[in-house]
Chain A
Amino acid sequence: MNTTAVLTNTTTQAPTLRKRPALTPARIGVYGLLISSAAFFLIPLYVMITTSLKPMEEIRLGNLFALPMHASFDAWVQAWSSACTGLNCEGIQVGFWNSVKIVLPSTAISIFFGALNGYALSFWRVKWAGWLFGILMFGAFVPYQVMIYPLVRTLANMHLFGTLPGIILIHTVFGMPVMTLLFRNYYAGVPVELFKAARIDGGGFWRIFFQLMLPMSLPIIAVAVIMQLTAIWNDFLFGLVFAGRENLPMTVQLNNVINSTTGERLYNVNMAATILTSLVPLTIYLLSGRWFVRGISAGAVKG
């Protein structure tokens, strides 16, 4: 009710184009709502950071929002190098490196196939390609649980279950719908005359792809890299099922560290581990800005 009142009041003044309206009570209401929402969004981050900097004695006092009296990064060091999952006490760094090993190849390979598919679909005539693409798009919506058991069996038969190549293959396969869509849409905007000129110059399928299309695709490749890095880094389900004990990604290890501890829970270490796990996607997000948003709207089918 408040908000409608605020909006009604803004009509009494005349907002001119370009210029910001003067600071009326209505404007203050707008800012009030925006700032309180910003607080709602920021509080968990604040709590995460302050908790991770407090020693356990301070945490036991039970004041969630208090600033740390004796801030230290001890919990971060412990989370990184000596936090335990079960009997294994090597810290979350193990998961970090596993995630790096999974994310980098998966990102590169899935983007390569996305670009290749998008290019072939946009410029070349291949029988059934339309049908295949349609089913691929449908695949983006299928709940993963339907596919998991058959995939586990198939990968086990191929001796890929619980291996690094196995999980990379899984990410490539599940990244394919969005990546293909992204590049197909991008190439649809490329003038066909350019492609025809390359054909007349005698370019074949692969030559046009590698020497003309890929170099032209840098902006969309950047979007794709942002999308895939974030999505694969944040993946939990596939890592849990397919990566195997040796390659558990950081998200899975984080969950294990926090939800399987016996004895006293070290909340500061837990929060430090959570921050460390989120640091990679958050950094990507903050650095990429509007590109990230572009990826969201392009990846809208992914869900």
Chain B
Amino acid sequence: MASTTLPGPSPRAARARRPWRSLGAQIALLPMAATVLFVYVGTLLWSMRISVSSSKVFPRDDFIGLTQYQRLFETERWNISLNHLVIFGVLFIGACLILGFLLAVFLDQRVRGEDVLRTIFLYPYAMSFVATGLVWQWMLNPQLGIQATVRAMGFPDFKFEWIVDQNMVLYTIVIAAVWQASGLVMAVLLAGLRGVDESLWHAARIDGVPRWRYYLSIVMPQLTPAFGTAFVLLSISVVKVFDVVVAMTQGGPGDASEVPAKFIMDNLFNRANIGLASAASTVMLLTVLALLLPWWYARAVQARKEGQR
């Protein structure tokens, strides 16, 4: 279900069904053309242009080559934030995929109250990342949150102060983000599971294949497109992660939960370092492209194969 709605190369048949030309259609598409040219192309070029200038508070028109990029990768805060992004990304995506898959498979066992359970697993996704960050900030608060509660229950030595611990704070953001987003993976994979032919299981059962093996070897490969969609969705939100960090830790303590998106915003608006921020945002853009191109390529190849049949 999810994969059919993604943009693929338009089928050849589509050209045949659009024989009509009209001035109206061209006028109607002007706002889209303007958006594409000015917002999606224009701003990217503009940002890239700034990233090779010496702009600080105001943009300057000079050209200093890749000096800003060099400066960027000599900035400790940026390197730390990239490092955090990798750790966060791997843990967040891994945990969401595993938890989402388990939830989807278990929900698929014809359980009672499936609708209620699905509603519960997905509701955090309807909340804003700001709200999520604030709730978890409150629960993880060492003075009054989980730590204090467990201590009051008779374990005075219990320690759970990750959110103020430089080495652990990043994991608290992972927990909050997984809580919010694993329901999304569950929804996408459940839709995929419902598309798996039931008779495969009957055949497998006759051959004596155990149920876990059936899910691992027969169902999982069929879910590859759904996993791909979920993976891309999660990766994009990793690169963009900003709201939840601002709400939960403001990048702290110190710079222990700094992330690239926040680094860029700080340098744009608080530190008047436009050139550096633009270089950083260009690096982010290239990262996203590096993630997307293989996926798009795979989809194009697959679409061509299906077209030949």
Q: Do A and B assemble together?
A: yes
A63 interfacial by beta-carbon distance below 8 Å: yes
Q: Are B14 and A188 in contact (CB under 8 A)?
A: yes
Instruction: Tell me which residues across on chain A come within 8 A of B121, comparing CB atoms.
Output: 37-38, 41
Let me know if B292 and A126 touch, CB within 8 A. no
Interface-facing stretch out of A73-81, A82-90, A100-108, A278-286: A278-286
| In the complex, chain A residues whose CB is within 8 Å of the CB of B307 | none
Interface residues of B in 7-26 (CB under 8 A from A): 7, 10, 14, 17-26
Counting chain B CB atoms within 10 Å of each CB, the highest count among A20, A37, A60, A292 belongs to A37
Of the candidate stretches B44-52, B62-70, B73-81, B165-173, the one touching chain A is: B44-52
Contact present for B211 and A34 (CB under 8 Å): no
Cα distance A134–B32 in the bound complex, in angstroms: 12
Contact with B along A176-218 (1 / 0, CB 8 A): 1000111001001000100000010000111001000000000
Q: How far is the CA of A49 from the CA of B281 in the complex (A)?
A: 39
Instruction: Check: A222 CB closer than 8 A to any chain B CB.
Output: no
Q: Known A7-B210, A150-B43, A282-B126; judge A267-B144 contact (CB<8 A).
A: yes
Q: Which among B130, B152, B282 is the interface contact of A254 at CB below 8 angstroms?
A: B130
Assess whether B32 is in contact with A237, with CB atoms less than 8 Å apart.
no
The residues of A that contact B149 with a CB separation of less than 8 Å are 62-65
Complex Cα distance, B59 from A146, in Å, reads 15
Closest-CB distance, A155 to chain B (whole angstroms): 11
Query: Given A62-B143, A145-B281, A233-B128, A274 and B134 touching (CB < 8 A)?
Result: yes
A125 touches B21 (CB 8 A): yes
Q: Which of A135, A143, A241 has the most CB of B within 10 A?
A: A143
Contact of A42 among B120, B126, B243, B277 (CB under 8 A): B120
Q: Which chain A residue lies CB-closest to B230?
A: A300
Whether A149 lies near B274 (C-beta < 8 A) is yes
A157–B250 Cα distance when bound, in Å, is 31
Give Cα A130 to B43, complex, Å. 21
Decide if A168 is an interface residue (CB 8 Å cutoff): no
Contacts of A289 in B (CB 8 A): 115, 119
CA distance A220 to B24 in the complex (A): 23
B284 lies within 8 A of A146 (CB): yes
Name the distance in Å between A77's Cβ and chain B's nearest Cβ. Answer: 19
Q: Which of A20, A119, A132, A145 sits near B265, CB closer than 8 Å?
A: A145
Q: Is the CB of B188 within 8 A of A300?
A: yes
On chain A, the residues within 8 Å of B22 by CB distance are: 124, 204-205
Query: How many of chain B's residues have a CB under 8 angstroms from any CB in A?
Result: 115
Provide the bound-state CA to CA distance between A85 and B143, in Å.
24
Please tell me the number of chain A residues within 8 Å of chain B, measured between CB atoms.
114
Contacts of B2 in A (CB 8 A): 297, 300
Is A247's CB within 8 Å of the partner chain B?
A: no
A142-B40, A173-B39 known; A259 vs B250 contact (CB < 8 Å): yes
Q: Are A277 and B191 in contact (CB under 8 A)?
A: no
- Shortest Cβ distance from residue B141 to the other chain A in the assembled complex, whole angstroms: 8
From A137, which residue of chain B is reached at the shortest CB distance?
Answer: B7
Give A residues with C-beta under 8 Å from B.
3-4, 7-8, 10-11, 15, 17, 20-21, 27, 30-31, 33-34, 37-38, 40-45, 47-48, 51, 59-65, 113, 116-117, 119-126, 128-130, 132-139, 141-151, 153-154, 173, 176, 180-182, 185, 188, 192, 199, 204-206, 209, 230, 233-237, 241, 251-252, 254-255, 258-259, 267, 270-271, 274, 277-278, 281-282, 284-286, 289, 292-293, 296-298, 300-301, 303
Closest 6 CB pairs of A and B: A205-B24, A303-B236, A234-B128, A62-B148, A139-B40, A285-B126
